[in-house]
Amino acid sequence: MIRASTLLVFSLSFVAIVLLSHSTSVASQSVNAQMQLSKVIQDAQAAELSGANSDEMRGLAVQLNTVLALQDELQNLPPQELGRRAQLSQQINATLTRVDMEANELATKASQRTSITHLVAYSSGVVGAVIVTVAYYYAALLQRRYRIKRTFEMKIIPKRTEA
Amino acid sequence: MVAYTTTITPASEKFFQLYLLGSTETAGNYYPNNSSSLQIGENVQWNLGLVNDMGSLQYVSIRVKLGGNQTIYSPNDTLAQPSPAPLITEFKHFILNNETWIVPFYWQIVNYTTTTKGQVLIHSLTIDNVTYVLENSPLCLEINSCSFRLIFELWTWNVESNNFQVGWANGDQQRIAWLQLWFNLTTNVNQH
């Protein structure tokens, strides 16, 4: 025969364990969400550093601000609306994952674009330098020829002395 | 040389600009009838502005706090510490580099309470049509000398600590941006 007090202690322990595990789960979900957010921000900033332009970045910022609106809605929901809460959480996760993917794609695209821009800038620098050198060489050559030509065209005129 | 200078980005200082404008979006007309003595239910219209000059996308929060006369300190610029005043609400936003974010800030005092010792505290405020019931609201000694202030602090998301930090890191230093506007609470004939 189980005593009533034993049953009570057992029931209370069970409730405590359930509550504790629930609160731990909520806290770890929150930490995970914060870490996910940090990763997305870091990836978006990396895309910007790689050379993503303001229009591309605006696209990411708009989606991230949508996440904030969803988080606000989630916070203001009553606890009993479990279905809507789950739906919103899923939407937030999906948006963050999509933004992260887009940021990584942008970073790759932007870094390729930046590499091409650098290549074009350095190549045009080299080509420009060669053109200037060649032009200077021919200009100097022409000037020398002109001076030689002028030298050979010179006439020697005896100097008149005044009486 | 020319090619090199065209491809490098010059290093520049990273900072935010936080400002508050009145109802006409100028640095004036902050209070109705140009009087900072407010009555219950009087509408005040401000416009908060933030400019991001950090060189990258930032996740920011502008925290709104209610300060009292002397008992609650303002944020500390030297130590880069926030004010201990009670938080009313916060506005969060992802702001692009070189972007200006304007937040319309419409507010009014909904009501105040008087303690048994005759001290006055603001019980609730409405900001942008949302009513906030204040806990730990600062006290003032009597209704005729009630000076309060709304403090606005800029917080930014720190990706290393996965949390908001007051101000932002500029190299080794922590910088903060904040502002406050004072107002007095006065009684009117219809009140209480």
Sorted by where each begins, the domain ranges of chain B are 14-185
DSSP B28: S
Domain B14-185 fold = Immunoglobulin-like (2.60.40)
Q: How many CB atoms lie within 10 A of CB A39?
A: 15
Predicted confidence (pLDDT) at residue A85 exceeds the cutoff of 60: yes
CB B90 within 8 A of CB B64: yes
Phi, psi (rounded to 5 degrees) for B179: -155, 160
Which residues of A have a CB under 8 Å from any CB of B? 31, 34-35, 37-39, 41-42, 44-45, 48-49, 54, 57-58, 60-61, 64-65, 68, 117-118, 121-122, 124-125, 128
> Distances from the Cα of A72 to the Cαs of A82, B5, B170, in angstroms?
16, 46, 30
What pLDDT is recorded for position B165?
Answer: 97
Residue A140 is predicted with a pLDDT of: 94
A111 pLDDT band, cuts 50/70/90, is: confident
Tell me the mean pLDDT in the region A16-43.
Answer: 74
What's the confidence (pLDDT) of residue A17?
A: 63
- Assess whether pLDDT exceeds 80 at residue B10: no
Best interface-test mutation with A: which of B59, B61, B93, B129 has the largest number of A CBs within 10 A? B59
Q: How far apart are CA A25 and CA A92, in angstroms?
A: 18
Question: In the prediction, which pLDDT does B12 show?
Answer: 79
**Is residue B116 predicted with pLDDT exceeding 90?**
no
**Is A84's pLDDT higher than 50?**
yes
Give how far B73 is from chain A: nearest CA, Å.
30
How far apart are the C-alpha atoms of B128 and B106, rounded to whole Å?
A: 5
3-state secondary structure of A39: helix
DSSP H helices, chain B, are: 2-7
- What Rg do the C-alpha atoms of chain A give, in angstroms? 39
Mutation choice for A interface testing from B159, B161, B164, B168 by most A CBs within 10 A: B159
Alpha-carbon Rg of chain B, whole angstroms? 19
Average pLDDT of chain B to the nearest whole number: 90
Residue A16 pLDDT grade (very low, low, confident, very high; cuts 50, 70, 90): low
Report helix angle A82-152 to A4-50, nearest 10: 20
Neighbours of B60 (CB within 10 A): 23
The whole-angstrom distance between B7's CA and the closest CA on chain A is 6
Query: Residue B188 has what pLDDT?
Result: 61
Q: How confident is the model at residue B126 (pLDDT cuts 50, 70, 90)?
A: very high
Burial state string for A74-101 with b = 16 or more CB within 10 A and e = fewer than 16: beeeeeeeeeeeeebeeebeebbeebbe
The residue among A29, A124, A21 whose CA lies nearest residue A74 is A29
DSSP annotation of B144 reads G
In this structure, chain B runs to a length of 192
Mean pLDDT of B63-86: 90
Q: Hey, are the CB atoms on A54 and B92 less than 8 Å from each other?
A: no
Cβ neighbours of B93 in A, within 8 Å: 65, 68
Among the listed residues B73, B41, B60, the one whose alpha carbon sits nearest the alpha carbon of residue B149: B73
Q: How confident is the model at residue B117 (pLDDT cuts 50, 70, 90)?
A: confident
Rounded to two decimals, the pTM is 0.79
pLDDT band at B191 (very low <50, low <70, confident <90, very high): very low
Tell me, what's the pLDDT at A122? Answer: 85
Model pLDDT, residue B88: 96
Proportion of chain B above pLDDT 90, given as a percent: 71
Query: Distance (Å, rounded) from C-alpha A84 to C-alpha A80?
Result: 9
User: What pLDDT, on the 0 to 100 scale, is given for residue B190?
Assistant: 46
Instruction: Share the mean pLDDT of chain A.
Output: 86
Looking at residue A101, its amino acid is M
% of residues, chain A, pLDDT over 90: 56
- CB neighbourhood size of B71 (10 A): 11
- What is the model's pLDDT at position B144? 74
**B28 closest CA partner among B178, B181, B152:** B181
